Amino acid sequence: MTVDDWRELFALSDKHDFVIASDECYSEIYFDETKPPLGGLEAARLLGRGFDRLVMLSSLSKRSNVPGMRSGFVAGDAAILKAFLLYRTYHGAALSTVFQRASVVA
C-alpha cells in the first residue's frame, strides 16, 4: 500500500471507528530492495498520527525462516494491546524458554 492508501484507510478508520489489523508477516520478503513495502506503523509515523485503532501482526516464521517455532509479535495501539494481552494470558499457549530465547535472536 502507498502512503496515500494508508491515509485513506486511516481516515475511514477514524470516521467509522474500526480497528485496522495489518498482517505484515511477509513484510520483509520483497523483490526490489530499493522499494520496501510500507507497513502500518511506519505509515502512521509518516502521516504524523499515533497508532490509534491500528495493530500490526508479524511472524518470525517467514522473516527468519523458522516456521515450526510459531513465534511472532503484535505492535500498535496500546489500549488494544492491553486487552489482547489479557486475552492471550488465558487463551494462548506460552512458548518454552528455549523458543523465547531463539525468538529474540531471530
What is the tens place of the pLDDT at every residue in 57-82? 998 887 788 877 788 889 999 999 99
Residue corresponding to grid cell 530492495: 33
* Domain coverage including residue 33: 3-105
> pTM of the entire structure?
0.82
The total number of structural domains in the chain stands at 1
**C-alpha span between 26 and 29 (Å, rounded):** 5
Q: What CATH number is given to the structural domain containing 77? A: 3.40.640.10
The sheet with strand 54-59 has its strands ordered as 20-23, 54-59, 72-76
Residue corresponding to grid cell 500500500: 1
Residue corresponding to grid cell 496500546: 78
Q: Which of 81, 30, 87, 16 is nearest to 54 (CA)?
A: 81
Give alpha helix (H) positions in 1-106: 3-16, 40-46, 60-63, 78-91, 97-105
Task: With beta carbons less than 8 A apart as the criterion, state whether 21 and 55 touch.
Answer: yes
Q: 57 forms bridges with which residues in the sheet? A: 23, 74
pLDDT tens digits for range 6-45: 999 999 999 999 999 999 988 888 889 899 999 999 999 9
**C-alpha span between 10 and 43 (Å, rounded):** 10
